[in-house]
Amino acid sequence: MTDSEIVEKAKAFLGGKALEVANPSLRRIFITVAPGDLAAAVTALRDHMGFLYLATISGVDDKDDFELLYHFGNEHVCLNVRTRIPKSAPRIASITPVIPGAIFYERELQDMFGIIVENIPDPRPLVLPDDWPAENFPLRKDWKFERPEEKIPGGKP
């Protein structure tokens, strides 16, 4: 299946849910959807176009918003579903009912960006230690790293 055939099928199956469909280079397709349409769009891509493999979810801190990219792949193309959520209300619905393996990437979004993934089956921290300070999200641009005091055994206090 060619890129243009995939683009046309995506437009047909997603209809108005696809705010934008772009094919910037060979074997790369980007589909932009509203946050509320994400699960429905992923379901359509899975059921009608065979996009079953979610490689990862990327988060980008873009000043006032978070851009989320859901990277799907098949034997023909890398298809990326893009959505934006406001940083002031960082919430997105879980896609684990559609793609169960998404849970690990969604937990990572919670840990690293502080994005609340609604209805995630297991919201426990995945990447950060259990004693990590709340409201401290390492992939946000406003995060400040504070180096812990170094302690050398047998050294001067």
The answer, yes or no, to whether residue 82 has pLDDT greater than 80, is yes
Question: Each residue of 119-133: pLDDT tens digit?
Answer: 999 999 899 888 888
- Is 151 inside a domain boundary? no
- Is 135 inside a domain boundary? no
Alpha helix segments (H runs only) across 15-56 = 38-49
- Is 144 inside a domain boundary? no
Q: 66 lies in which domain range? A: 3-118
Q: Is the alpha carbon torsion for 108, 112, 117, 119 positive or negative? A: positive
- Is 54 inside a domain boundary? yes
- Is 138 inside a domain boundary? no
- Is 73 inside a domain boundary? yes
- Is 29 inside a domain boundary? yes
Residue 92: give its domain's CATH number.
Answer: 3.30.460.80
- Is 8 inside a domain boundary? yes
Confidence of residue 149 (pLDDT cuts 50, 70, 90): confident
Q: What is the pLDDT, as a whole number, of residue 93?
A: 97
Dist. CA 59–CA 153, nearest whole Å = 40
| Global pTM value | 0.90
Total number of domains in the chain: 1
